[in-house]
């Protein structure tokens, strides 16, 4: 008999990726829900009843775990940003480790202890908030869990950098004073769409450049006196808080006077204030027109890898790891596992803006970076210049197309694909590129397990080590770094 639309009591056995509670019904069938910790019992409304499993919505917790704590945020459970605020950080790490073990221990390689994030609150260096209409006012928030048209307001937000919350308040107040409404995805009416905030959390220092140049001029010159351009970067000289504010609106023209009150308030905490106009129906941030309202359109973040500082330009639309201190942990683990020598020719596949390849460039003979997004490749070239890296080349191609055309052999390869993992064409290339080592960085242990099976079943590579890393505290997300060696 189907249990659909009935409320039943179940007990959670464990957390499985991606952050779901695996429970057992009285008849032994598996039921997946969200919000129950292991050993907790709850009343669940069954919404799907399939032959092999059920899905449900948690309605009430009947028995609580000793690991359960009170969430910091009142929006927890509704907001889509966090999924683990109901458990302490040590418990979060345990759940993530168990998920990684379950998916990856079958390969016979040691799964190392998970690397914790140096920060567990206010760690995010980028936040994308949405404007929405609420009770006749313009509000600002994050998508609610599983919804594209309902939102949880901010403040508060405990995983965002603290200065983001202040900026969000200022922008929300301005939007309400302006008399203009939030954009409606259904009617396609309204003005304010998104607020995107970015910050260089590791590089928030303001010191004068000894050359006397302003930071922007100093950055643009490579012939500055006694190396003042690089000294200026190394000293972290880019203004007040190294924060970018990007306001995304519908395509309506407003003169400079309209924005002046907002600029006057934000310039006390931001290095750059930008305006992006987006006329497309999609709820994603798209760029039809872009302008800088105040200051600069780039900030510079610092990462220390292998004991050396590296610097990276971040513009409003650059890809960069959203946990700066966690990124240092991640990249240092990549370096440890790869352990390249000075003769190594390194392939950096899905290189983005070049952060991994550039941070390893001084350890190897040559870096070849491949990325399909042309703007990211341009950013990678700028970042190589910024760090004095001359042995790295970056090319705008899809990994699949490049693999078909390339005949170059490599000593080592790093792959950091999107969530859907590697395609069969890329795996075929990796099996034939003769790299002695491959380091696979993954944000999805499910697709990682699939790809590792395809790579190892060839007999050409064997998994030596697997290291989970927590880049996203308070959420279910897991980053995993895997070392494969050629047989």
Residues with a catalytic annotation lie at 443
> In whole angstroms, what is the distance from residue 178 CA to residue 259 CA?
10
Peptide bond into 391 cis (omega under 30): no
- Give the number of C-alpha atoms closer than 13 A to the C-alpha of residue 448, restricted to the C-beta side: 31
| Helix spans in 79-237 (H) | 89-104, 162-178, 215-220, 228-234
Distance between CA atoms of residues 284 and 351, nearest Å: 23
Beta strands in 96-211 (DSSP E): 126-134, 137-143, 151-153, 192-199
Query: Residue 255 — left, alpha, or beta (φ > 0 → left; ψ -120 to 50 → alpha)?
Result: beta
- Pick from 308, 270, 317, 265: nearest CA to 290: 317
- Residue 177 burial class via C-beta count within 10 angstroms: exposed 0-12, middle 13-18, buried 19 and up: exposed
361 burial (CB, 10 Å; 0-12 / 13-18 / 19+) is: buried
Residue 174's φ and ψ, nearest 5 degrees, are -65, -45
**Element of type H or E holding 463:** strand 461-469
d(CA 462, CA 457): 9
End-to-end CA distance of the chain: 53
**Tokens 């499910």 label which residue?**
446
């Amino acid at each position: 008999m189907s249990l659909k639309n009935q409320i039943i009591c179940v007990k959670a056995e464990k957390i499985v990726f991606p952050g779901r509670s695996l429970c057992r019904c009285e008849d032994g069938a598996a039921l997946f829900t969200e919000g129950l910790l292991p050993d907790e019992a709850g009343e669940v409304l069954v919404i799907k009843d399939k032959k092999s499993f059920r899905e449900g919505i948690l309605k009430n917790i009947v028995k609580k775990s000793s690991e359960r704590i009170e969430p910091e945020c009142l929006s927890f459970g509704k907001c889509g940003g966090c999924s683990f605020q109901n458990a302490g950080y040590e418990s979060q790490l345990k759940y993530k480790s168990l998920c990684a073990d379950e998916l990856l221990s079958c390969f016979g390689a040691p799964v190392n202890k998970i690397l914790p994030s140096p920060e567990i609150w206010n760690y995010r260096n980028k936040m994308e908030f949405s404007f929405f209409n609420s009770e006749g006012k313009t509000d600002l928030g994050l998508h609610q869990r599983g919804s594209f048209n309902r939102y949880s307001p901010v403040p508060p937000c405990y995983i965002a950098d603290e200065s983001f919350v202040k900026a969000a308040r200022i922008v929300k107040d301005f939007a309400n004073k302006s008399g203009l409404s939030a954009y409606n995805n259904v009617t396609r009416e309204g003005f304010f769409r998104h607020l995107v905030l970015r910050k260089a959390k590791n590089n928030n220092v303001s010191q004068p450049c000894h050359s006397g140049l302003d930071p922007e001029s100093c950055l643009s010159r490579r012939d500055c006196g006694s190396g003042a351009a690089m000294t200026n970067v190394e000293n972290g000289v880019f203004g007040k808080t190294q924060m970018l504010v990007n306001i995304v609106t519908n395509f309506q023209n407003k003169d400079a006077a309209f924005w002046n009150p907002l600029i006057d308030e934000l310039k006390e905490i931001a290095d750059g204030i930008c305006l992006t106009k987006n006329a497309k129906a999609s709820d994603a941030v798209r760029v039809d027109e872009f302008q800088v309202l105040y200051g600069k359109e780039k900030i510079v973040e610092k990462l220390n890898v292998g004991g050396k500082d590296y610097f990276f330009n971040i513009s409003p639309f650059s890809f960069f790891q959203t946990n700066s201190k966690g990124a240092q942990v991640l990249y240092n683990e990549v370096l440890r596992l790869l352990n390249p020598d000075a003769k190594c020719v390194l392939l950096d596949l899905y290189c983005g803006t070049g952060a991994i390849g550039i941070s390893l460039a001084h350890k190897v003979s040559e870096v070849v970076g491949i990325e399909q997004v042309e703007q990211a490749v341009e950013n990678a070239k700028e970042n190589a210049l910024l760090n004095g890296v001359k042995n790295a080349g970056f090319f705008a191609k899809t990994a699949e197309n490049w693999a078909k055309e390339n005949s170059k052999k490599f000593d080592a390869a790093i792959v950091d694909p999107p969530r859907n993992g590697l395609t069969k064409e890329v795996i075929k290339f990796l099996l034939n590129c003769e790299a002695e080592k491959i380091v696979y960085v993954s944000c999805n242990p499910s697709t990682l397990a699939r790809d590792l099976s395809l790579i190892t079943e060839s007999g050409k590579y064997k998994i030596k080590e697997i290291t989970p890393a927590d880049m996203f505290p308070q959420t279910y997300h897991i980053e995993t770094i895997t070392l494969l060696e050629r047989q």
